[in-house]
Amino acid sequence: MSETLLYEGKAKKVFTTDDGNVLLHRYKDDATAFDGQKRGSWKDKGKTNATMSAAIFAYLETHGVPTHFVEQVDDTSIKTKRLEMLPVEVIARNVAAGSLAKRLGYEEGTQLKAPIIELCYKDDDLGDPMLNWYHFRELGVSDEDLEFCEELGLKVNGILAPFFDERGIILVDFKIEVGRDENGNLMLGDEISPDTCRFWDKETGEKLDKDRFRRDMGGVEEAYAEMLRRVTEITQRGAVD
């Protein structure tokens, strides 16, 4: 298979393949935070993000969520459909943490009355600001696409919150992205990993995600390994519930 580097981001490299509608994502052990101001890396980060994303995408597919996932190639690489991405980041929140806790004046860890969906403009130079539908219309995003984004965020949350709960994890919040395939179909893209989600242990409240890196808490490598273990146990048992 011939590969040509198409894009290198903070946490992965994306390559074209022999199939013009399929891309190869190779996840790196590198990490950044605060719009690239903080940098680091740890062992097997790429393995965790690739393998966990593959397992969760496959799980979501079985529950009727269209995704860009094609197959996992090796420990750190997955193939996906090539999408034209919407300039929208969809954030689903179940518990007040991070910027939402500050915005609402809530103590971190406060359970929300109902899941909250936020739509952010995907633009690193602007800091990915949260916008409303009026702003997105100005930017050329259709109401139909925005409605799909919000409904997808709620649907994915409704599937994954109990999935992680069964594995002793609180799904605090997560970010997803949406793109359109060659046939014009909208679907879930990007990744689902400790880089893009907040995971807290249900019993201890221990953070098992990228916040350990952001906040200099230590134990980042161990947290990612623990999340990978809990997610991949389902495939090792040969069952996806």
Tens digit of each residue's pLDDT (9 = 90 or more) over 89-124:
999 999 999 999 999 999 999 999 999 999 999 998
pLDDT of residue 82: 98
Query: What average pLDDT does the structure give for the chain?
Result: 94
pLDDT category at 2 given cuts 50, 70, 90 is confident
- Report the distance separating Cα 79 and Cα 127, nearest Å: 28
pLDDT of residue 38: 78
Which contiguous run of DSSP H or E holds residue 146? helix 143-165
Strand (E) positions, the chain? 4-8, 12-16, 22-27, 30-33, 38-41, 69-74, 77-81, 84-95, 111-121, 169-180, 186-189, 197-201
**194-227 pLDDT, tens per residue?**
999 999 999 999 999 999 999 999 999 999 999 9
CATH topology (fold) of 84-219: D-amino Acid Aminotransferase; Chain A, domain 1 (3.30.470)
pLDDT category at 9 given cuts 50, 70, 90 is confident
Structure tokens at 21: 């509608």
What is the longest distance spanned by two Cα atoms in the chain?
52
For the chain, how many helices (H) and strands (E)?
6, 12
Q: At the fourth CATH level, which superfamily is domain 4-81?
A: Phosphorylase Kinase; domain 1 (3.30.200.20)
pLDDT of residue 36: 63
Structure tokens at 162: 């109990």
**118-166 pLDDT, tens per residue?**
999 999 899 999 999 999 999 999 999 999 999 999 999 999 999 999 9
- Report the distance separating Cα 236 and Cα 49, nearest Å: 17
Q: Do domains 4-81 and 84-219 have the same CATH topology?
A: no
Closest by CA to 226, choosing from 213, 209, 211, is 209
Map residue 50 onto helix, strand or coil. Answer: helix
pLDDT of residue 178: 98
pLDDT of residue 240: 44
- Is 50 exceeded by the pLDDT of residue 42? yes
- Report the distance separating Cα 89 and Cα 85, nearest Å: 10
Sign of the Cα pseudo-torsion (115, 181, 239, 47, in order): negative
- Is 80 exceeded by the pLDDT of residue 237? no
pLDDT category at 236 given cuts 50, 70, 90 is very low
**45-96 pLDDT, tens per residue?**
999 999 999 999 999 999 999 999 999 999 999 999 999 999 999 999 999 9
Long-range contacts of 200-207 (CB under 8 A, 24+ apart): 200/95, 200/169, 200/170, 200/172, 201/168, 201/169, 201/170, 202/165, 202/168, 202/169, 202/170, 203/168, 205/109
Q: What is the pTM of this model?
A: 0.93
Which sequence spans correspond to the domains of the chain? 4-81, 84-219
Which contiguous run of DSSP H or E holds residue 98? helix 98-104
Structure tokens at 12: 């992965």
- Is 50 exceeded by the pLDDT of residue 24? yes
